[in-house]
């Protein structure tokens, strides 16, 4: 089921597909955190990661692995990745169609990358 209001269900987004694996597709993020930032999105309208089917999650993993390899082959400055999923408004989800961020990282692209995803709640990074 597609939602007319959902950006990931709209034809203009579907024309931006750079990779498709079974039940998911990948597009470049319109507001990239770093160069090469992509989103992996289920074709079926699914509100968040937890409402994706096991097949969609499996296809998403395959897509992430292929996309990672493709990005690293094109850009040898990539030395790491952040993979992110926001589920729910309180977790920062702004588009309520499941999507997985694949964000390439390069040495020196952030002043202090220590803690990675824990930076989502900066005051909770005290373990470092």
Query: Does residue 69 register a pLDDT over 80?
Result: yes
pLDDT in tens, 36-65: 999 999 999 999 999 999 999 999 999 999
Catalytic residue among 37, 38, 97, 99: 99
Domains and CATH numbers, the chain: 7-108 (3.30.428.10)
pLDDT in tens, 84-127: 999 999 999 999 999 999 999 999 888 877 766 666 556 655 54
- Annotated catalytic residue 99: yes
What DSSP string runs through 23-37? TEEEEE-SS-SSTT-
Greatest pairwise CA separation for the chain in angstroms: 45
Please tell me the chain's helix, strand, coil percentages from 3-state DSSP, rounded to the nearest 5: 35, 20, 45
Q: What is the value of pTM for the model shown?
A: 0.89
pLDDT at site 47: 97
* Cβ count within 10 A of residue 5: 9
């Amino acid at each position: 089921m597609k939602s007319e209001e959902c950006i990931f269900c709209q034809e203009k987004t579907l024309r931006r597909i750079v990779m498709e694996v079974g039940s998911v597709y990948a597009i470049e993020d319109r507001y990239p955190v770093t160069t090469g930032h992509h989103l992996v999105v289920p074709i079926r309208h699914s509100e968040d990661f937890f409402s994706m089917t096991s097949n969609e999650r499996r296809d998403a993993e395959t897509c992430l692995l292929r996309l990672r390899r493709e990005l690293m082959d094109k850009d040898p400055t990539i030395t790491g990745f952040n993979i992110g999923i926001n589920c729910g408004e309180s977790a920062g989800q702004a588009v309520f169609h499941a999507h997985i961020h694949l964000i390439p990282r390069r040495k020196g692209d952030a002043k202090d990358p220590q803690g990675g995803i824990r930076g989502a709640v900066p005051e909770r990074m005290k373990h470092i």
